[in-house]
Each structure stands twice: as C-alpha cells, then as structure tokens.
Structure 1
Amino acid sequence: MPATVLTARALLLDMDGTLVNSDAVVERCWRRWALRNGLDPEAALKVVHGRQGYATMAVLLPDRPMEQNHADNRVMLAEETADTAGVVPIGGADVFMEAIAALPHALVTSADRALAQVRMTAAGLRMPELQVTAESVGASKPDPEGFLKGAAGLGFEPADCIVFEDSEAGIAAGRAAGMRVVGVGPRAAALSPDAHVEDLTQIRVEAAADGSVLLHISAR
C-alpha cells in the first residue's frame, strides 16, 4: 500500500503519549490521587490523558472548588516531576525529532515547563526551541489556545499546521484550532484523526523545496 502524504508548513507536537511514553508515571500518580479522593482509579484513568491536572480533577469532581483542584494539581506536578521510572520515548521519536530539527515545529503540552524538561530528558529527546506549556495558556486542552499560540509563535496560520496528538482532549483541541491531526498510538485510533500511526516509525519526514514539510505515512 502506498504511503499517505500530508503537507504542512509547521508541526505542533504533544508530548505525553505522542513523543514520550509516560503512562506508567501518570497511572501511578493518578491512582493514588483517585484513592485519596474516594474515586475508582480505573474510571479516573479514562479521562486523565491530555488535559492539565486541574481540568481532569474538575471533570472527576465537578462540585469541588476550583482552587482546591489547582492546589492538588501543584502536588500532582511535583509528584510527576520527581518520578521518571518507566519514562521512555515513543517508538521512532528520536529519529523523528532529529528529522524535523531544521523545520518549523513546537512542543504544545499540558505539562508545565519543569515536567516537560524532565520527561524529554528522561526519554533522551531533543527539546524544541518553542515550547507552549501549562504556564503559557489560560485554558487546558481540549481548548485550542495552546495550539493557536504554537502556530502564532512559529508565524503560521492554523490551516498550515499539523498537530501530533494521542488523546481525545488533544485531538479535539487540534480540530478546534482548525488544524489537521495525526493521531499517535492506541488512544487515538478510535478518534478519527486525519491520519493515524501506531508510533513514529511509520512517518518519514521530507523538506520540500518551497520550505513546506512532507510527511510520508506508511501503513503497518
């Protein structure tokens, strides 16, 4: 089967589940939080991916004051930043990141700056020069603010950008920003992204003569 080819001017990359597999840490920390708050950990894990922690807490405990969610989120971020056991790169992430090094791209993550640096370092991945982290936005994914800021920071229109995402909240944010989405991994498979890959080994990057980015996506 021939490869699918997508063309963009810039790439906007989620981190967790897209470049870095941090599921082990996320699940450890959120299981503890769920048990502390009398919630079913398995049910909680179904909604934690993609959002900032306070936003996940608001979904799970809708009647709780938001200031308590923000306080808990600070504790959660400290726990996650201190725990790197099992943090590894998504398949092909190292080659992919090197392939796009000279092309317009940005990290757009729900992690804060410290957590993003710790996880990218633990996974042995190069950190993009432009980073849109939790401190950069007023609203969490699925709000499109982060992706729109990433596009603006790179100097491109939303329609010129392709988002790489793994979660429901992240894919919804990319669509709301008016961008095409490449879904990465099992969580993305059922969410009808514009293209889907199991990991980043299925993508070959080519720089076109006009400066655009060609993504050759192979079937598996």
Structure 2
Amino acid sequence: MLSSSETPRAATAETIGSFKALLLDMDGTLVNSDAVVERVWRGWAVDHGLDPDATLKVVHGRQGYATMAVLLPDRPMAQNHAENRLLLAQETADLDGVVPIPGAPAFMDAIADLPHALVTSADEGLARARMNAAGLRIPEVRVTAESVGASKPDPEGFLKGAAELGFDPADCVVFEDSEAGITAARAAGMRVVGVGPRAAAFAPDAHVQDLTRLRVTADATGTAVFASA
C-alpha cells in the first residue's frame, strides 16, 4: 500500500493500495473536455490580451474565477465571479467533443457499490451536462463549485467529500489529472492516483495513462483495492 511519503511511480502490475472511499475529479479524469476548455479559454485569453497557451497551463483543475485571479491579479474578484458565470454558461452549452476518458464507463460500473463522490470545480449544471454527454453515471454524492468557498488547489472540496461519505481523509484515495487537484488532495491528507498525461508531472502516489489501466475489487472488510490492469 502506498503512503503519502513514498516515492511517486507509474503503476505497473503491483497493487496501488487499499482504501475505504474514492473521490473523483471529473474533467481530465472521467471526462475528456479539453476541446471545449480550449475553445472557451483561448477565446477569453485573446479578448484579454493574454497568451492562450500560457492561459491553458493555469486553467485545468481550478474554478474559472480562480484562474482569472491568477492571470489578472489586479482585477476585482467580483468581476472575476461575474465573468466566470458567463464562461460557465458557454461551457455548459458547448458539448462538442466531450467524451469519456478511456475505461471510464467500466470504472464507474466497478465502483457503483463502493463509497465514492465526485469532487469537481465545475458547477452542478456543467457537471451534469458533461457526465451525460460522456454517457457516464453521475455519483449520488457530489461536491461541485456551489458547495465550496475556495477552489482547488484548496483542499476544501476533498475534505467535504470525505466528510459527506463519512470517512477520514487518510482512508480516501483521490483520482485527479491536474496540478491544482493533486495539490488539493495532498493538502487534504489523501493519497492520489494521477490519471492521464498531465498528472505524471505533479508527483501523484501512482500514475496511470487512463482508466483502462485500473481494476477495482473489494476485500472482506469492504475496503476498495486498486491495482493496475
């Protein structure tokens, strides 16, 4: 089993670890929404005289207002929140190219009877739109943008997800793709499985290229056990 102090590594045929609850990021982890994110945020960057490529390095994992605060640090936060509402509406309406991450449908089926929650920087409307577009079941327990006062990389969302499921942070594993999300999970005292090419650079406890590389079982105590496929 991995602890948070162990050296990060790519998942091989070895066991990743045993956990009691799962906390799942959405974009980049369960759903590939990169096409929409790039369209919307490249347009936003151009409108504000910013480098689109540099902007996209900040966007992933954060709520929109938090991205704006990083890129336009002198702008009033109220303006960021107002503009974020407009971008959320654009992203919710634009589902072209939204698809499941490889292995996501089978992964969601495999964990259906295990304690799990969606913890996403999307709001409820965007989360439902993208999960539906990708053909994925929406977890009953969800921590969305409306549920928290601070965006990832703040750990609030993951801590709230663990609390709603009734487990200590140390008993939870997070599935994430972004630097902001992995940082938030670590700050929450949780172990992290990085999913996809972005995640490898940010020191998750284990890393897989996609969800086809994982299998999920349960031991006699009901604890979820994850190993690379």
Q: Do they superpose with TM above 0.5?
A: yes
Corresponding residue to 1:96 among 99, 103, 107: 107
**2:62 maps to which residue?**
51
**1:190 maps to which residue?**
201
Return the alpha-carbon distance in structure 1 between the equivalents of residues 176 and 141 of structure 2. Answer: 17
Return the alpha-carbon distance in structure 1 between the equivalents of residues 176 and 219 of structure 2. Answer: 23
Corresponding residue to 2:160 among 132, 146, 149: 149
**1:15 maps to which residue?**
26
**2:53 maps to which residue?**
42
Percent identity reads: 75
Q: Secondary structure at the match of 2:97?
A: coil
- Give the residue type in structure 1 aligned to 2:215: R
Return the alpha-carbon distance in structure 1 between the equivalents of residues 123 and 13 of structure 2. Answer: 39
Q: Cα distance, 1:5 vs. partner? A: 3.1
Q: Cα distance, 1:3 vs. partner? A: 2.6
Residue deviations 1:63-86, cap 9 Å, x none? 001011001100000000000000
- Equivalent positions of 1:1-220 (< 5 A) are 2-218=13-229
Number of corresponding residues: 218
Q: Secondary structure at the match of 2:217?
A: strand
Structure 1: gaps spanning 5 or more residues: none
**2:4 maps to which residue?**
none
- Give the residue type in structure 1 aligned to 2:195: V
Q: Cα distance, 1:190 vs. partner? A: 1.0
Q: Secondary structure at the match of 2:151?
A: coil
- Structure 1 runs (4+) deviating above 2 angstroms are 1-5
Return the alpha-carbon distance in structure 2 between the equivalents of residues 73 and 177 of structure 1. Answer: 26
Return the alpha-carbon distance in structure 2 between the equivalents of residues 182 and 5 of structure 1. Answer: 8
Q: CA RMSD in A?
A: 0.7
Return the alpha-carbon distance in structure 2 between the equivalents of residues 71 and 44 of structure 1. Answer: 19
Q: Secondary structure at the match of 2:59?
A: coil
Q: Is the 8 A contact 2:186 2:192 kept in 1?
A: yes
Q: Secondary structure at the match of 2:13?
A: coil
Q: Cα distance, 1:135 vs. partner? A: 0.2
Q: Secondary structure at the match of 1:156?
A: coil
Return the alpha-carbon distance in structure 1 between the equivalents of residues 190 and 141 of structure 2. Answer: 18
Return the alpha-carbon distance in structure 1 between the equivalents of residues 133 and 95 of structure 2. Answer: 7
- Give the residue type in structure 2 aligned to 1:185: G
Q: Secondary structure at the match of 1:46?
A: helix
Q: TM-score, normalised by structure 1?
A: 0.98
Q: TM-score, normalised by structure 2?
A: 0.94
